[in-house]
Amino acid sequence: MATIGLDKLYYAKITEDTSGNETYGDPHPLAKAMTAELSVELAEATLYADDGAAAVVKEFQSGTLTLGVDDIGVTVAQDLTGATIDGNKVLVSTSEDGGTPVAVGFRAKKANGKYRYFWLYRVKFGIPATNLTTKGESIEFSTPSIEGTVTRRNKVDGQGKHPWKAEVSEDDTGVLPATISGWYEEVYEPDYSTLETA
C-alpha cells in the first residue's frame, strides 16, 4: 500500500562487545523527518546447468539511507558523525571524525491511515550536507540532509541470521498491539518463539 507520510524518526546508539555483537541503547528522537530514501544493493549469483539457470542467489549486501530533516542538533550530530562539542558548546567537525553506527527507526503513514514501522539495525552516517540560500523575493527553506550506509548487524537472531531491517504494518493480521506501542521504547528484536512448526 502507498504511503503518504513520514514521522517519528529515532536513533539508538550501539555498543559492541568483544565479538562485535550489538547492544542497543534507548531510542532518542533524531530530528523531524521530511524525507527518507532507502536504496539497497544485492549480491547476486546465477548458477547455469543444462543450458539454463539452475540456481539464483540474491542476498542483501548493503544499503544507503538518505534522510531529509528539519534540523540536526549538536548532540545528535555528535552521536551520528563523531564530531565533538567544545567547551563553548560549538560543534567542531574534523577530518578525523568517523561516527559509530546507530540503529534508526521511523514510521510511514499509509493511505488507509495506519502506519508501517521500521528499524534499520546498523547505519553509519557521514557528515550532514548543508544547503544555504540567500533570502530573495520569496521565502525558501534550507534544510540539511544526511546519508548513511546500512549494513547487516553482527549479532545473529533466533534463527542464526544477521538482520538488517525490521518492518511491520500495524494493520497486518496477527500483529500484537504491544509490538506497535513498544516500537520506540527499544530497538525491536526478532522473536521466533511463537512460530508454528510444521
pLDDT mean across residues, the chain: 82
Whether 30 contacts 13, CB under 8 Å: no
- Listed by start position, the domains of the chain span 3-36+69-181
Name the pTM for this structure: 0.79
More confident residue, 39 or 169: 169
Q: Cα separation of 185 and 198, whole Å?
A: 33
Give CA 178 to chain center in angstroms: 21
pLDDT in tens, 94-143: 777 777 899 999 998 888 888 999 999 999 987 766 655 556 665 555 56
The percent of residues above 70 in pLDDT, for the chain, comes to: 87
Would you list the DSSP string of 35-74?
Answer: EEEEEEEEEEEEEEETTEEEEEEEEEEEEEEEEEES---H
Q: Tell me the pLDDT band of 83, cut-offs 50, 70 and 90.
A: confident
Q: Cα separation of 111 and 113, whole Å?
A: 5
Residue 175 DSSP SS3: coil
